[in-house]
Structure 1
């Protein structure tokens, strides 16, 4: 089960600019403790450090229990046999220095990217009247963290799409992701995060946790300047997608291709597989035609992609975790960007 309970989300994530954006859906006053995690304006850098990143990761040796005799034993095993601790030389445990929790186990070449330096330190130089920290948080017991920088107020395109450009800085101590700086877009109507410029390369800068990674830190700081180009890039993308018409027959063909009712062998689906496919198709179609978050742009490529993106964020079944945790981890991993690109490629093929 997920560690990210409502209590955790209300105490280990910070949400900023709520005067413009409202509270997060997981906000619960009873779980806030003595200090709210919601900020009417920007989140101060000092608060992120104090409330989330007040600890550091440390490397510690790993030992295993080895059977031995009473002359060299250090203790008895759970079965009552004499054993000793033998250090594993080619592995290290990455632990929190405040509660000693083990976050990951790695070879000696693994380099720790401390949150205060690689997340807070890299974004701090960006912050000004136009850019501020809009959210930050810890997941998986602190093994995954992010800091998001964005503009305080949302932007509206001539097509009526309200969005907010973001820069997401994230890293981990469990091996789940490299240190990554990527630009994303939040569609404010339904709080979706979508990577910009569907076919554009170079939207993310990644640094592996290797012994030479520090030499890339300056390049990472330089790469953060891309946040200033997000708004124009996304506005151009929205304008283009709204100009691409999707007639009803094309939308039906898209559903047939994107969520087929036949298997890879060409045979019609039956039983549970057919039920799941039909349910997803019905949800996508309902979003596309009737949902206020999507319907204003139905009949266009933007509407089709918005239906898919909204489904993935808000309708796709969640098991073994909370939806905000699942969504943030998928954003960090780039899953939503791949979903957008797959849907766009499918739609282009149908229209062609």
Structure 2
């Protein structure tokens, strides 16, 4: 992991309730800024706005240079490019051998403070300012039982999230300690609709799991369109879903812990989840390494072994492997994990794990 990535994660993410779950695994004291980014309790709303969302996302004008104009009109120095539908799509001026063009069909969105550009969008795209959609909306449900547990920026500010949590950890009769979350996330690069969804953080491993392990969790998505503000009431109503997370996840854990997975079934699951037969040499090598690590987790790791020979142990093994051991390219592991959480990768992973296990158990019955 590069120093720049560590610095970003330690200055552009905020982590709360560390008295209950410990420090984030990317924490480095040497990379903390003037203010530490870890909080013993809840993160104040004003700190999220002051430290992370203090800047505005703004629209700009797309300017392009061309070597030669397409068509010269009567007006001296003015040129127009005409699209196939006959509409003038760009207007530009000759700048002494180079042509500067303003594209009226698409506009850039970027940070007002740094000028960094996140993407180019067609007319109709609506910017969802982080302060409004991730803080003001979420603040409507905050009370003594619901507080901000984490917040941050990813990809240079192109994506952002705020997580609402309960102050106390919850432990199921099966020994699974977890924290229910409402994850609010959005983007300025076109990668995410504004999304409010239920997730769970398992304390023993700091992993994110889907609240409903058998299917993608309950969520609401708002596209970045000119009609998005009309759905504000729907958003506020949907935020109440956080209150259902604890009971739903505890029920899932109970069901999975009561589902026996024999050693024969575990080996059959590995064959289905990470098959070796019929694969290329490289794929066989990767699958073999994954199977070996999953088996180590299953038998010996404190994050998985307590639930060995249960369906929950299978889910925990795959989720823990993906969070902590799976090879990562093009990003740091903490950033990759958070991106997966906000984009829905966690939901898909857990649902696919349960579906594969159900198929295996059915074939053995």
How does the TM-score come out when normalised to structure 2?
Answer: 0.90
Residue of structure 1 equivalent to 2:299: 289
Distance in 2 separating the partners of 1:3 and 1:64 = 35
Distance in 1 separating the partners of 2:9 and 2:24 = 10
Which of these residues, 163, 177, 181, is aligned with residue 178 of structure 2?
A: 163
Q: Does structure 1 conserve the Cα–Cα contact (< 8 Å) formed by 2:211 and 2:217? A: no
Are 1:275 and 2:285 matched, yes or no? yes
Count the aligned residue pairs: 341
Residue of structure 2 equivalent to 1:36: 36
2:104 aligned counterpart, secondary structure = strand
2:290 aligned counterpart, secondary structure = helix
Residue of structure 2 equivalent to 1:63: 63
CA 1:171–1:228: 2 relative to 1, 3 Å: same
Residue of structure 1 equivalent to 2:18: 18
Distance in 2 separating the partners of 1:293 and 1:52 = 32
Residue of structure 1 equivalent to 2:241: 226
Distance in 2 separating the partners of 1:159 and 1:120 = 35
- Deviations, residues 332-352 of structure 1 (Å, cap 9, x unaligned): 111111111111111001111
- Deviations, residues 305-331 of structure 1 (Å, cap 9, x unaligned): 110010110011011210110000011
Residue of structure 1 equivalent to 2:341: 331
Q: How does 1:227-242 map to 2 (within 5 A)?
A: 227-242=242-257
Q: CA deviation at 1:201?
A: 6.1
Q: CA deviation at 1:216?
A: 1.2
Q: Does structure 2 conserve the Cα–Cα contact (< 8 Å) formed by 1:14 and 1:37? A: yes
Distance in 1 separating the partners of 2:361 and 2:254 = 18
Are 1:91 and 2:106 matched, yes or no? yes
2:60 aligned counterpart, secondary structure = strand
Q: How does 1:185-204 map to 2 (within 5 A)?
A: 185-200=200-215, 203-204=218-219
Which of these residues, 297, 304, 316, is aligned with residue 326 of structure 2?
A: 316
- Deviations, residues 154-211 of structure 1 (Å, cap 9, x unaligned): 1100000001100100000001110000010011110110111233566111001111
Q: CA deviation at 1:84?
A: 2.3
Q: Give the gaps of 5 or more residues in structure 1.
A: 77-81, 264-268
CA 1:206–1:305: 2 relative to 1, 3 Å: same
How does the TM-score come out when normalised to structure 1?
Answer: 0.93
Residue of structure 2 equivalent to 1:79: none
Q: Does structure 2 conserve the Cα–Cα contact (< 8 Å) formed by 1:7 and 1:32? A: yes
CA 1:155–1:108: 2 relative to 1, 3 Å: same
Are 1:100 and 2:110 matched, yes or no? no
Q: CA deviation at 1:75?
A: 4.4
Distance in 1 separating the partners of 2:257 and 2:217 = 24
1:5 aligned counterpart, secondary structure = helix
Q: CA deviation at 1:271?
A: 2.4
Distance in 1 separating the partners of 2:300 and 2:68 = 70
1:175 aligned counterpart, secondary structure = coil
Query: Over aligned residues, Cα RMSD in angstroms?
Result: 1.7
Q: How does 1:123-272 map to 2 (within 5 A)?
A: 123-200=138-215, 203-263=218-278, 269-272=279-282
